[in-house]
Structure 1
């Protein structure tokens, strides 16, 4: 079954692979490729210079709009700008997109609101469409009837304790589908250089102060790639003796840094909805040292793809013993569970079930041709090894 998707871009960005500092933009780029490759119609609404693989790219903003709203801002070196929903770029995006969708929509079309509440005005203008938030990894959203979350952690935060206390819920179409990655964007490498990597926004929420302290205490080198600086993240000692600030990096440098690092440090102190960097590292054969909450608890397999830590002493031990992690486990876990092809199966299962509400028997729609329920299956690393005592895969045969 093929569907028609109207995909909304991030209004302040350009949907190109080079805009790698914005996870939401990269999801738009990859979403187009994933859905188009499965034979679906994909209509992308965004900046006129976007290079999304799609059936049609509808340009609703341009460089002049971005310059008016964010004068002098270079996203290639500065990441995404400080934006407002009432700024020129957003208002232009809303008006033009609402108009252009009206020219193209057909009964049964999906409207994919990739940026949560920031796309709500467009959804409100087209209530006759099937409105889906296809990847909730943001704190402000959840307005749509149909919602896809990037982790169970985020799903449960959104639903809250009321769904525990009430003894009931309406969660049948609130599902978890992880972020997805193009395997061609990463180089698998088992031979590592002698450095740790911090890749992402350089701020305390992402745990830059913890990463600095870890490498200070274990020795070695820390490469820091991402927008932001170290001011306000001071630690005891001089970080310039072991840490190098690279700034925002493009796709080519990003893939090289990921492939050669001996570990990627992601000690985020907030509830990460997903943290795509952890999967990018694993696809490169690089283990991850993370905190033990949020999406890390679901996707960073402790002792297999890296380590999850609760105290500073645990972080130090993990860094000193990161050689225990087999790069093959990192790669196979990520490749088998987070590739475009794998995650496309999950999305198609979900979109099909949603479509039955509008053109079938809804929740009770029969499927006599079904041969499996693999859409929720997780494929363990082939080289996990061990016994049933320490190998969860063995517990399931």
Structure 2
């Protein structure tokens, strides 16, 4: 297959940029699909470091630095798509993709959603796919969602009815298990790992720590605006960490606390926690309601009282069960094989009448 992979304009595609799940998606996809023998063209920042058939620079360092400054990968960048970086990126990418076209079945993958729409709108003769929708929008004729929760959430918004598209699919993210440490012996601290914003439930997490007098590590970009008063003597407030630091925090935590107040499209950190053998204490909606198996890989909660009780009971969750759940559902090789089957089905749909083609005649009868 031929893949034209549009990277995330706000960061170079590099393994160490764990702060941006979208960047990680691009990195893993390019690496794995190249390894599996496909042609992978990567379009992105000149400082990208990713395995692919060929990389193309589509935004200059000069333009990038004017918009984002010389912030490190540890800083959370503005996600506004209406700026000079996105305009330059999309213009150059669309021109290069057209020059690089190999066949009528070339696939253009818009990992940044609407941030890539300006590019894709100039490539109507290509197969356009949003390959991992972890955001609340969509524009491509073919869409892959991170969870059924996210697909159902966006159903009416995208289609104005209750009829799903045959061109859509649900494929969860895949992970390299070697990037993590599996540990059965835990230390006595809760871990919050993610964006330091109110909607991630950081105030609720701190309240749980105070009630239980239990240490908590808040690990994430500390430069983000929020209402969290850093007045908890049992808390550590730690800026974005390296891959090695991240995996150690996950492996040794008593539990990962994910009290997100909004419907998470998936919950990447949750899956990383499962791989590490660490139970997850989460809210009961969004991707967590689908992937966090209540009383098996953690607990799903709907009140402060339930959260406090769940943390107290977290030692009852077996690390082996968390790990097994991850192995059965989120191994990178299995996820890439699922993508290959999906892309093959999309190419076949294209031969007919698009994503909502339904075969009118059937040559067999089910009795």
With normalisation by structure 2, the TM-score equals 0.92
Give the SS at the match of 2:130: strand
Distance 2:22 2:270 in 1: 16
- Of 83, 97, 100, the residue aligned with 2:96 is 100
Q: Which moved more, 1:247-256 or 1:220-229?
A: 220-229
Structure 1 residues 264 and 128: alpha-carbon distance in aligned structure 2, compared to 1, 3 A threshold: same
Structure 1 equivalent of residue 69 of structure 2:
71
With normalisation by structure 1, the TM-score equals 0.85
- Of 195, 200, 211, the residue aligned with 1:201 is 195
Equivalences, count: 357
Q: Which moved more, 1:83-92 or 1:103-112?
A: 83-92
Residue pair 1:49, 1:62 contacting (<8 A) in 2 also: no
Structure 1 equivalent of residue 42 of structure 2:
44
Residue pair 2:222, 2:237 contacting (<8 A) in 1 also: no
Matched, 1:224 2:218: yes
Distance 2:278 2:287 in 1: 18
Structure 2 equivalent of residue 212 of structure 1:
206
Structure 1 residues 12 and 197: alpha-carbon distance in aligned structure 2, compared to 1, 3 A threshold: same
Matched, 1:132 2:152: no
**Displacement after TM superposition at 1:360 (Å):** 6.8
**Displacement after TM superposition at 1:36 (Å):** 1.8
Distance 2:342 2:286 in 1: 23
Matched, 1:319 2:311: yes
**Displacement after TM superposition at 1:121 (Å):** 0.8
Give the SS at the match of 2:65: helix
CA shift digits 1:243-286 (9 cap, x unpaired): 00011112111111111111000000000001100000010111
Task: Name structure 2 gaps, 5 residues minimum.
Answer: 361-367
**Displacement after TM superposition at 1:222 (Å):** 0.4
- RMSD across aligned positions (CA): 2.2
**Displacement after TM superposition at 1:356 (Å):** 0.7
Distance 2:329 2:29 in 1: 16
Matched, 1:91 2:87: yes
Give the SS at the match of 1:61: coil
CA shift digits 1:34-80 (9 cap, x unpaired): 2222221111100112122211111222432221111243332x22x
Q: Which moved more, 1:246-255 or 1:221-230?
A: 221-230
- Of 286, 297, 300, the residue aligned with 1:305 is 297
Q: Which moved more, 1:110-119 or 1:89-98?
A: 89-98
